[in-house]
Chain A
Amino acid sequence: MSKTDRAGKADRIRWLLDTEGDAVEANTLGFNQGRYDSVADLDDYEALKGEARAIKEDAIERLPALIDEVRATVEANGGTVYLADDAADANRYIREVAAEAEADRLVKSKSMTSEELEVNEALEGDGVDVVETDLGEWVLQVADEAPSHIVAPAIHKSREEIAHLFNSQFDPDEPLETAEELTMFAREQLGELIADADVGMTGANFITADSGTIMLVTSEGNARKTAVVPDTHVAVAGVEKIVPTVEDLAPFIELIGRSGTGQDITSYISLLTPPVDSPVVDFDEPDVAFADRDDDRDFHLVLIDNGRMAMREDDQLRETLYCIRCSACANSCANFQSVGGHAFGGETYSGGIATGWEAGVHGQESAAEFNDLCTGCSRCVNACPVEIDIPWINTVVRDRVNRDGEDGQFEFLVEGLTPDAEAGGIDIQKRLFGNYETLAKLGSATAPVSNWLAGLDPVRSLMERTVGVDSRRELPEFERETLRDWYDDRGPQVAATDADREVVLYPDTYTNYVDVDRGKAAVTVLEALDVHVRIPDVGESGRAPLSQGMIATADTQASRVYAGLAEHIDADRDVVVIEPSDLAMFHREYEKLLPEQSFERLREGSYEILEYVYGLLANGADAERLRSGANGPAIAYHSHCQQRTLGLDRYTTAVFDDLGYDVVESDVECCGMAGSFGYKQEYYELSMDVGDRLATQFTEPETRDRLVVASGTSCEDQLGDLLDREAIHPIEVLDPRSQRR
């Protein structure tokens, strides 16, 4: 990306933060909290997700047969099925249906698939009056804007903005003001438009192959009216919406509302087996009783391929087809919470999973526009009701986009720093951050001169110009003596023969070259608990290149790390990791990079440092040897996004609790730094906006005088920049030598 492109991107994000950010934030935070509260009521949320996942895996596996089955059942019911190859094919068919029905007006309930088709424009070209009846969609139709969210399309607009829009557009007798007034006005207007509509178009959240039933998830009631008032019903749906049986719907009914807007269930789950028995509501014959009608309803199910069958054949994109479009990945995403779908979205879809959808249905270029906004924080992973590894899809698409790139003009500047396994063409900024270990090695070897140089204005300005490292960010300072050098000189203080356990402390790049102190604290704490420590010469986990979409490089590094640790695991030594993002590599991403057996062995043999301390204490280690809450500080603790996804933050808080510390924990999804993301010029302001939610929590009267503690490197840096209070790692708090208040 050029300097101008970066600046343009930063401008666009700044504009969205200013104009839409507040409304998007308030709404998505509400949905996200609602999700946590609502799924907590389920007896076995994890099992339900597993059930939903299994149904989708099975359905996509035998999709061609299910398409045949649904065609047979719908036709036996008296409806018509059309399988459209692409958007143009679908639109052509729908225009024919509208023409045959001599439709002047077609009313629609909300459907993202219809947005994908751009069917409104196609019908309007034929002179059909197309009316969106979902209130949010109608607001956008009146305002001529695109959805900013796949479920709640107008979340970027405040009540005041909607009132202004309606008052200027419709000039009502009394100006509209409250949400109640706006809703009733819209209901009345739309009620009249629905009353004399000729065709109703809905989407379908699910279609059951065994009965030809379509399921619609709504709360307003507009989809119900759309489907039954006119005599012609067109349902458009991607082929992936088919599930085998009616009984398969149960877990999705229970999960979709909870996962999306945090409702246990939406007001209406329509289960229609069209053509339905319900009579047409014909206001041209107002006095003919419903019971006396003899309607001949027309139903068309338009199934859309538009790239989906190819996605099914693509091992990396296939999971996208399991998506039930609930929006959990958008609402749980820290970046989305700040900018919404107008930045974090492509031609049609928005949020984390949109990368998969856009790459699959519109092409990689559409996904490339916003794919960088996924930082891989992984907070969406546990939120997804069908257990899609959304960060991985983002990484894969990033990798593919990288490979399509043009050669950067400043490539020579980083050539020596980038011994990666990538083909040419990858963006220079990504290449620099992806090879962070090499940079850190050089920086450390030449410290403190490297730090002085990096701090100089002309150097910072050159870095900003060429590789887009924002000059407002403080750069990490490299230590001349690395953690491994220090330990090699010092040697272990608990001999292997005297030790209860043997630990291999993984020297992650940041701990080894930059924050050596937290590594020393880890050694001290482990030794205080009678552990023999080794720090082997093992390189970067692959997290840095993976975050830039450099999968080949990450793969090579994963193999090296495993080779460096395998013998220790065989010797029954425990691998202990300080940096959560590296542990998350071992526990999550290595599944994609290593043979299954290797992945399993490393995952089972590796621990987050506080998880390990918790285990030692639980098994009888002497807690008295650590610094306790009695002489330690009150703490404001921010766990790490990936650590929370792995469910490991609880060990840190449990250790603090057991040792008598007074702890307040943050509940934001991510600090906003996310490795290199916050250093990038185009994303600096977004990163700070995300961080602001965390900063607010740590500057309340209850927290502002507490010691700031964070488990992740990036979180520590971000908190340092946000608060002007230095943040330290939990292990440094527990270090018996620590004087930190």
Chain B
Amino acid sequence: MDTEIGMVHRRFEHSLADLDVGVTRSTPDTFASTLRELVSKPVVGTTLPFAAVSLPDWIDSDPSPATLQAATTSVTGASLGIADYGSVVLPSTADGSEQVSLFADLHIAVLRASDIVSDMPTAIDRLGPQFRDGDSAIIATGPSATADMGSLVRGAHGPKDVHVVLLEDGGGTDE
């Protein structure tokens, strides 16, 4: 691994640690078992936009309002990680990634290590053409939070906890 890339990855993980967001490295081979250790059931998810991995069949990958409401964990794909901030970019999709990433108490974002960029301008430069094509995305940094009730509380309207699964290699190309 290139040293510079290695530093960016370390910075990303350091930023996640500051946010109290867990990170687990995984490969296509270990992906299913990694998820199994992280989730609490029921789990919902949406199709991952990566060729090398897909959601294990014990995850409901075709959620409805009812199953979304009942889920305690959700799993969705992230298109970018931003090292400076520990942010993940969550694309909005027609099968509901935006909602799925929002309602459950624990959100697991699956990110390819090769999609980690150093800083915000780089991330926005990547997103510009996509938005001009009509896409939407959320830059999510840590869990949902509020201080409106007198002190900091996690999980105001969104997840109380966020975990990043980092796909080390073989993440492959976009589907």
Contact = CB atoms under 8 A, between A and B. Distances in A.
Nearest to B127: A246
Interface string B69-95: 100000000000000010100001111
Contacts of B120: 250, 253-254
A287 B64 CA distance: 5
B34 interface: no
Given A182-B150, A249-B124, A290 B95 contact: yes
Contacts of B146: 135-136, 183, 219-220
Contacts of A261: 147
Given A133-B157, A219-B144, A224-B138, A277 B64 contact: no
A211 interface: yes
Nearest to A249: B124
A290 B99 contact: yes
A489 interface: no
B155 interface: yes
A281 B153 contact: no
Given A210-B132, A225-B102, A281-B65, A179 B157 contact: no
B6 interface: no
B141 interface: yes
Interface in A192-208: 208
Tell which of B102, B139, B143 has the most Cβ of chain A within 10 Å.
B139
Given A187-B156, A267-B145, A253 B139 contact: yes
B136 A162 contact: no
Nearest to A248: B124
Interface in A53-103: 77
B135 interface: yes
Given A225-B102, A277-B94, A279-B94, A267 B141 contact: yes
B29 interface: no
B163 to A, nearest CB: 15
Contacts of A160: 150
A695 interface: no
A12 interface: no
Contact of A278 (B63, B94, B121, B144): B94
A159 B94 contact: no
Nearest to A225: B157
**Interface range on chain A: under 10, 10 to 19, 20 to 34, or 35 or more?**
35 or more
A222 B103 CA distance: 11
A272 B102 contact: no
B148 A152 contact: yes
Contacts of A134: 148
Given A179-B150, A273-B136, A190 B99 contact: no
Interface in B95-131: 95-100, 102, 120-121, 123-125, 127-128, 131
A196 to B, nearest CB: 11
A253 B84 CA distance: 12
Contact of A267 (B62, B92, B142, B148): B142
A228 B142 contact: no
B137 interface: yes
B96 A246 contact: no
A243 B110 CA distance: 32
Contacts of B134: 77, 211, 273, 277
Given A211-B131, A273-B131, A287-B64, A221 B92 contact: no
Contact of B124 (A210, A246, A268, A285): A246
A611 B99 CA distance: 58
B164 to A, nearest CB: 14
Contacts of B69: 283, 286
Given A224-B158, A278-B136, A183 B102 contact: no
Tell which of B69, B95, B98 has the most Cβ of chain A within 10 Å.
B98
A271 B131 CA distance: 8
B33 interface: no
B102 A224 contact: yes
A617 interface: no
B105 to A, nearest CB: 11
A187 B62 contact: no
A286 B149 CA distance: 32
A288 interface: yes
Contacts of B16: none
A376 to B, nearest CB: 31
A180 interface: yes
A221 B85 contact: no
A245 interface: yes
A270 interface: yes
Contacts of B68: 281, 290
Tell which of B132, B141, B156 has the most Cβ of chain A within 10 Å.
B156
B156 A285 contact: no
Given A187-B156, A267-B141, A276 B136 contact: yes
B145 A289 contact: no
Nearest to A286: B66
A37 to B, nearest CB: 13
A266 B138 contact: no
A224 B98 contact: yes
A282 interface: yes
A276 B92 contact: yes
A179 B102 CA distance: 21
Contacts of A267: 140-145, 158
A281 B99 contact: yes
B87 A265 contact: yes
Contacts of B124: 246-247, 249-250, 253
A154 interface: yes
Given A213-B131, A267-B140, A219 B145 contact: yes
Contacts of B64: 286-290
B21 to A, nearest CB: 11
B151 interface: yes
A643 B153 CA distance: 39
A238 B125 CA distance: 26
A399 interface: no
A556 interface: no
A496 interface: no
Contacts of A246: 124, 127-128, 131-132
A183 B65 contact: no
B65 A272 contact: no
A135 B156 contact: yes
Interface of A: 77, 133-136, 139, 152, 154, 158-160, 162, 179-180, 182-184, 186-187, 190-191, 208, 210-211, 213, 219-222, 224-225, 228-229, 245-247, 249-250, 253-254, 261, 264-274, 276-279, 281-283, 285-291
Given A220-B145, A254-B120, A264-B85, 13 more contacts: A77-B134, A158-B150, A179-B149, A186-B156, A211-B131, A247-B121, A250-B120, A265-B85, A268-B140, A268-B141, A272-B136, A276-B98, A285-B65
28 contacts: A133-B157, A139-B149, A162-B150, A179-B152, A182-B149, A211-B131, A211-B132, A211-B134, A219-B146, A219-B156, A220-B144, A224-B158, A246-B127, A246-B131, A247-B124, A250-B123, A265-B87, A267-B141, A267-B143, A269-B139, A269-B141, A272-B92, A277-B93, A286-B65, A286-B66, A287-B64, A288-B64, A290-B95
